Structure 1
């Protein structure tokens, strides 16, 4: 009997991140007797901050966040997918991408991961308490009445800034230079501050999971105006109350566009001794058949557009995919250069201080621009 092939994978600890890849590994093992994929998991904060090169030294497969791509693209720790995936297979997945999910993992001429989960900042609300809002002015009024809860922990506080600047048609830069022009930056911070001035300090320690847990468990809050889609909270029985996800509230006149893209992708370590097998697994998990079937049945939030368009997939989530599709299709792709991840931490702290009222908007914008320029110090100005 041939030796058992054991692949090691790392994902994140939410059921949305862990359950579907474990189920996929189990099914893949049935299709490939003698192959086992063992998954470890880390917290959401660890997922957003742990350097990919550290993971690639220990694991064959990794579920990653696209902003990390720039820091590893030229360091030889990830396997370019086109090394073992055919051009046709990659083109098919690109055509089945929700918005820019597939593109978000393409950098410097290589595809570094395949989207298995699509997400961006959308609106989450308790439909049993009040209707959804359409405009940012309505968000401000809801906040004045104490009905708004908001994830303001890093990096989400910075994502809010990104989303509003892009929504008014003047998005932040993704290449070397100033991050944002002073007028637009000031306007976005003032609009964010109009909501945050009514927020509890505890929100600065809350990520989307903490916010959605609170929104779904009590009747104090009605609305999270910008929060990454977590479809599980729309499922029957996941929490005490079901949450409706719909397109983001708008500040500009361009509709619900410009939301800061999130989601996750399946990447492969360059150190794996089974690159063909890992590639086959990644292609299969990202494919429509798995995504609209086994993946969603195991708590997954798909990244494949065929799953998003499936009425049965939507029915279980109060039509979360249908109702946020426009926001996802027009989402904004944040910077991915080598050095960006450090800026994301620094920029989040600057925006948080501005929203707390500790620094004036003009000073905050100047600091953001200074730190953004400095993030290109290693020479990557792409």
Structure 2
């Protein structure tokens, strides 16, 4: 009898195509069939994992959910099942971001963080400083995805760049003066940007940027999407680089993204689901069928591979320093509700011209409440 598994991922070629390709290979090897459903990026960032675990054997998640899923007990932890090669090959903190309370709840299959995207056909070089970015913004040549939760991710990255990354264990998430300075910078930057950015996620911005007549030459903070770096994926090929810096600093503190593959604790075929997850997260699949089918691997072997880089205009090498220096968001049970509320408060405050310190005070209050403080 054929074993059939159901998986849930997110609706973009980067999220679906590599899993479909790897599942086809897996079926040829093992006879286990995996059918993948897709949900929107917005759902991916907010939909309860517990509900998905009732209906799917394999679930692609992001790391801020791990505190909640630990309480709910809806995922099967990997613990010692994962070979050391997966942790050893992790890019930046991708593997560590799925470890919570001593257990590993997902394996990184996709590594991403906020980097810089730019139009190589229009700019002589990637902007390296925030001063250069602001000059381009004043000329109407910059976009920034600000749809929640991406506005909050931008604030996270800027505060870390300014030397005060968020205190994930609290009680105050943000250092008040530094975060106020970051809010003021974000307000000034967005004042020179098309207001539609407040309703756009990274995919929407990329789709606009990749059109020949787009007036977007630079997106200074956006989660990297390797597909847009491929020749022929869209009318215009987008280039990528490390995020801009203040005062000659290193590209450190970008808010880590990416995805991990998790196994439902409620499925009827958990061992079979676990076996696929272990294979798709390890080096052979990551640098092979996963990368070639449009994935953005989480394994360093793929990020360092010459062929993988050549296909993507050196996307991986050009952004590796930013990813290696990325910052891991809070992950406690209660964080997801905070992320949604904080993003909304930030956007309302920026657009209403609230004092930056008042915005930061509200964000810190919401964070204390999320901790139960």
Q: TM-score range by the shorter chain?
A: over 0.9
Q: TM-score, normalised by structure 2?
A: 0.97
- In structure 2, the partner of 1:43 is 40
Cα deviations by residue, 1:95-115 (Å, 9 ceiling, x for unpaired): 100000000100011000000
3-state SS of paired residue (2:36): strand
CA RMSD for the aligned pairs? Answer: 1.1
Rounded to whole Å, the distance in 2 between the matches of 1:351 and 1:249 is 22
Structure 2 segments unaligned to the other structure (5+ residues): none
Q: TM-score, normalised by structure 1?
A: 0.95
- In structure 2, the partner of 1:237 is 232
**Are 2:102 and 1:102 aligned?**
no
Rounded to whole Å, the distance in 1 between the matches of 2:170 and 2:250 is 28
Match of 1:193 among 187, 191, 201: 187
Q: Return 114-123 or 344-353, whichever deviates more.
A: 344-353
Question: In 2, are the aligned partners of 1:48 and 1:65 still within 8 Å (CA)?
Answer: yes
- In structure 1, the partner of 2:145 is 151
- In structure 2, the partner of 1:12 is 10
- In structure 1, the partner of 2:300 is 305
Rounded to whole Å, the distance in 1 between the matches of 2:35 and 2:214 is 40
Rounded to whole Å, the distance in 2 between the matches of 1:360 and 1:327 is 30
Matches within 5 A, 1:1-382: 3-33=1-31, 35-82=32-79, 85=81, 89=83, 91-130=84-123, 131-217=125-211, 218-377=213-372
Deviation at 1:354, TM superposition (A): 3.0
Structure 1 segments unaligned to the other structure (5+ residues): none
Deviation at 1:32, TM superposition (A): 0.6
Question: In 2, are the aligned partners of 1:94 and 1:102 still within 8 Å (CA)?
Answer: yes
Question: In 1, are the aligned partners of 2:5 and 2:35 still within 8 Å (CA)?
Answer: yes
Rounded to whole Å, the distance in 1 between the matches of 2:324 and 2:2 is 42
The 3 A distance-change label for structure 1 pair 210 and 300 is same
3-state SS of paired residue (2:174): coil
How many corresponding residue pairs? 371
Rounded to whole Å, the distance in 1 between the matches of 2:146 and 2:274 is 36
Rounded to whole Å, the distance in 2 between the matches of 1:194 and 1:207 is 20
Deviation at 1:169, TM superposition (A): 1.8
Deviation at 1:6, TM superposition (A): 0.7
Rounded to whole Å, the distance in 1 between the matches of 2:40 and 2:342 is 22
Deviation at 1:347, TM superposition (A): 1.0
Rounded to whole Å, the distance in 2 between the matches of 1:271 and 1:229 is 33
Question: In 2, are the aligned partners of 1:189 and 1:354 still within 8 Å (CA)?
Answer: no
Cα deviations by residue, 1:147-203 (Å, 9 ceiling, x for unpaired): 001100000000000001111221011113011121111111111112111122211
3-state SS of paired residue (2:210): helix
